[in-house]
Amino acid sequence: MHLSTLKRFGYALAILGLGLTLTACGKKNSENDKVTVSILQSKVESNKALKSIAKTYQKKHPNVEFKIQSIGGGTQYNPVLKTRISSGNAPTIFSLLGPADVIQFKKYATDLNGTKLAKLANKGTLDTVTDGGKVYGYPYNVEGYGFVYNKEVFEKAGIKPEELTTPDKFQEAVKQIDSKKDELGLDAVFATPGKEAWVFSDHLANLYLGQEFNGNSLKLYRSKSMKFTANQEMKDMLDLEMKYSIKPVMQVDYTSQVNKNFSQKKVAMVQQGNWIYPTIEGIDKDFANNGVGMMTIPVKGQEGKLAVGTSNYWAINNKKSDKEQKAAQDFLTWLYTSKEGKDLVVNKLHYVPAYKGYSEFKMPDALSQQVFNASQSGKVIGWSFPGYTGTPWDENTMQPALQKYMSGKANWDQTVKTATDGWKKQQAEN
- 302-321 confidence digits (pLDDT tens): 999 999 999 899 999 999 99
Residue 102 has pLDDT above 60, yes or no: yes
- Whether a cis peptide bond, with omega within 30° of 0, leads into 364 is no
Residue 30 has pLDDT above 60, yes or no: no
- H/E stretch holding 79 reads helix 77-86
Q: Residue length, the chain?
A: 430
d(CA 278, CA 285): 9
CB 267 within 8 A of CB 233: no
d(CA 168, CA 153): 20
Q: Note the pTM of the prediction, 2 decimals.
A: 0.84
Phi, psi of 134 (to 5 degrees): -105, 145
Report the half-sphere exposure of 43 (CA within 13 A, side-chain side).
19
Buried-state track 54-70, b at ≥16 Cβ within 10 A, e below 16 = beebeeeeeebebebeb
d(CA 207, CA 315): 28
* Single-letter residue type at 351: Y
**pLDDT value of position 123:** 84
**pLDDT value of position 58:** 98
Q: Name the class of domain 34-142+310-358.
A: alpha beta
d(CA 269, CA 191): 7
Q: Where in the chain is the domain with CATH 3.40.190.10?
A: 34-142+310-358, 143-308+383-429
d(CA 233, CA 252): 23
Residue 6 has pLDDT above 70, yes or no: no
CB 156 within 8 A of CB 177: no
| Residue of 240, 233, 193, 192 whose CA lies nearest to 209 | 233
Residue 248 has pLDDT above 80, yes or no: yes
Using 50, 70 and 90 to split pLDDT, how confident is the model at 245? very high
| Residue of 266, 349, 269 whose CA lies nearest to 361 | 349
Q: CATH number of the domain at 143-308+383-429, out of 1.10.357.10, 3.40.190.10, 3.40.50.1950, 3.40.50.720?
A: 3.40.190.10
